Amino acid sequence: MTVKSPPTVAPVFDDGSTVQIPTLRILQADGTLISGAQTPELAKELAHKIYRDMVYTRILDERMVGAQRQGRLSFYLTCTGEEASVAGTVAAFKQDDMIMGQYREQVALRFRGFSTEQFMNQLFSNAKDLGKGRQMPVHYGSRDLHFMTIRSPLATQIPQAAGYAYGQKLAGNNACTLCYFGDGAASEGDFHAGLNMAAVLKSPVVFVARNNGYAISTLSSEQYAGNGIAARGLGYGIKTIRVDGNDILAVYAAAIAARNIAVQEQRPVLIETMSYRLGAHSTSDDPSGYRSAEEEDEWRQKDPIIRMKNWLINQTWWDESRDEDLHKNYRKEILEELKLAEKCPKPPLSDLITDVYQDTPAHLLEQFESLEKHVAKYPDSYKVHGENS
């Protein structure tokens, strides 16, 4: 029917291994360009911003893992190792393009302008958390910054992103959607539904598959048998590119081109960023049970932040002393805000029942009334944990 397919008389099977999907690379570990590579247009200020946000995120992650170990936080999850995959993509988009992430993309939120205080409010589920203290740490979201609130179920955002972008197309305002997910999430049925629908219905959405080699303990060789996630993009007829996710210039170059395609051609694009989850899956995880320190070390050599720093220094856009200051200032800022957020009161009990519906229905109000009475009877037993009494 609708496929183009030349006739053949040879009964030959193809498992896709002949289909080459190269990896875009621009920057080498020492910060020099690969021969023949072209730097994408990237103004000094923007380069600085990207770098600063990556450094910020690294420090935030280190600090919060520490805070979790100290028992100040119930849970945390880092972006460590994948900062360039995320920063390099978000930097190519417009401020009002919608971002629908998985959970390991805090650098995108930082890039959009989420403040340290806002991060801390969410992490400590305090009364100032935009999410009203309802979700676990790292489930950030901000309407102002066009960053859809993170949810835990994997891959659900993928068909949603296809729909969101379709709505943007009908609205006709040249905005698009940027949707992140992991190599593990790409095995979910929702991945298939979302990418196929976006392709057929021509949604202006850029999918970024963060292929970091793991889904918790599950190796990507236990996740798929084909040529990564990119090979599937080809199957959907989606314009697809694979990039070195630790190479900020390659990621940025791909993302700029991807957004152009999405908005100009009103169709989806898939970027697969090849990288590595340098840390544990989350603070609940211990990777020593399933991978070697050597493997981790190997990837530490490819750190995307160091690589970008080397490039900036080569450009004479940066130097070590500025770098030290940057680190110091961020550490200080984060620690200060952490302390403030910890002390901030928790959300009121009434937040338990609002927003289930736009207007709280009678039966829920009734349930809440009797809960309030009960809590008033036993105030000591229902102190919100972390609450100062």
Partner 1 sequence: MTDVTRMNLIQAINNGLDTAMAADEKVICLGEDIGKFGGVFRATSNLQEKYGRPRCFNTPLTEQGIAGFAIGLAAQGSVAVAEIQFADYIFPAFDQIVNEAAKFRYRSGDEFNCGGLTIRAPYGGGIDGALYHSQSPEAYFCHTPGLKVVIPSNAYQAKGLLLAAIRDPDPVIFFEPKAIYRASVGDVPNSDYELELGVAEIVQVGTDITLLGWGAQMIQIGKAAELAAAEGISCEVIDLRTLLPWDRDTVVESVKKTGRLLVSHEAPLTGGFAGEIAASIQERCFLSLEAPITRVTGIDTPFPLIQEKQYLPDHLKIYEAIKSSLAY
Nearer to Mg ion, 101 or 184 (CB): 184
- Binding partner of residue 33 among Mg ion, partner 1, ligand TPP, none, CB cut-off 5 to 8 Å per kind: none
For 294-354, give the DSSP string. HHHHHHHTT-HHHHHHHHHHHTTS--HHHHHHHHHHHHHHHHHHHHHHHHSPPPPGGGGTT
Nearer to partner 1, 256 or 384 (CB): 384
Instruction: Verify binding: residue 160, partner 1, rule CB under 8 A.
Output: yes
Nearer to its own copies, 237 or 345 (CB): 237
Least distance from C-beta 105 to partner 1, angstroms? 16
Least distance from C-beta 308 to ligand TPP, angstroms? 20
Identify the CA nearest to 37 among candidates 317, 311, 258: 311
Among 111, 166, 207, 252, binds partner 1 (CB under 8 A): 166
Please tell me the distance from the alpha carbon of residue 351 to that of residue 133, in angstroms, as a whole number.
9
For residue 60 the two structure tokens come to 């935030």
- Binding partner of residue 362 among ligand TPP, its own copies, partner 1, none, CB cut-off 5 to 8 Å per kind: partner 1
Instruction: Verify binding: residue 277, ligand TPP, rule CB under 6 A.
Output: yes
The residues near 132 (Cβ < 8 Å, ≥ 6 apart) are: 347, 351, 354, 355
Nearer to its own copies, 120 or 257 (CB): 257
Relative to beta strand 218-219, strand 214-215 is antiparallel
- Residue 89 DSSP label: H
In one-letter notation, the amino acid at residue 297 is D
- Burial label, 168 (beta-carbon count in 10 A; 0-12, 13-18, 19+): buried
Nearer to partner 1, 155 or 274 (CB): 155
Hey, which residues between 206 and 245 contact Mg ion (CB under 5 A)?
Answer: 212, 214-215
Least distance from C-beta 218 to partner 1, angstroms? 5
Give the active site residues.
277, 281, 290
Please tell me the distance from the alpha carbon of residue 368 to that of residue 373, in angstroms, as a whole number.
9
Least distance from C-beta 189 to ligand TPP, angstroms? 10
Nearer to ligand TPP, 39 or 217 (CB): 217
Each residue 174-203 as x (binds Mg ion by CB under 5 A) or -, in order, gives: --------xxx-------------------
Each residue 296-315 as x (binds Mg ion by CB under 5 A) or -, in order, gives: --------------------
Least distance from C-beta 203 to partner 1, angstroms? 9
Among 25, 28, 75, 335, binds partner 1 (CB under 8 A): 75
CA distances from 296 to 212, 287, 331 (A): 12, 10, 25
- Residue 213 DSSP label: S
> Which helix (H) or strand (E) is 158 found in, with range?
helix 157-171
Stretch that binds ligand TPP, among 21-29, 86-94, 191-199, 207-215 (CB under 6 A): 207-215
Each residue 217-236 as x (binds partner 1 by CB under 8 A) or -, in order, gives: xx---xxx------------
Query: For the chain, first and last CA: distance in Å?
Result: 71
Stretch that binds partner 1, among 35-43, 76-84, 215-223, 244-252 (CB under 8 A): 215-223
Nearer to its own copies, 86 or 257 (CB): 257
Please tell me the distance from the alpha carbon of residue 114 to that of residue 142, in angstroms, as a whole number.
8
- Binding partner of residue 26 among Mg ion, ligand TPP, its own copies, none, CB cut-off 5 to 8 Å per kind: its own copies
Q: Mark 104-132 as b/e (b = at least 16 C-beta within 10 Å).
A: bbbbbbbbbebebbbbbbbbbbbebbbbb
- Binding partner of residue 389 among Mg ion, its own copies, ligand TPP, none, CB cut-off 5 to 8 Å per kind: none
> Which helix (H) or strand (E) is 100 found in, with range?
strand 98-100
For residue 304 the two structure tokens come to 């995307």
Among 6, 18, 359, 379, binds partner 1 (CB under 8 A): 359
- Provide the binding-site residues for ligand TPP, judged by CB under 6 A: 104, 152-154, 182-185, 210, 212, 214-216, 277, 281
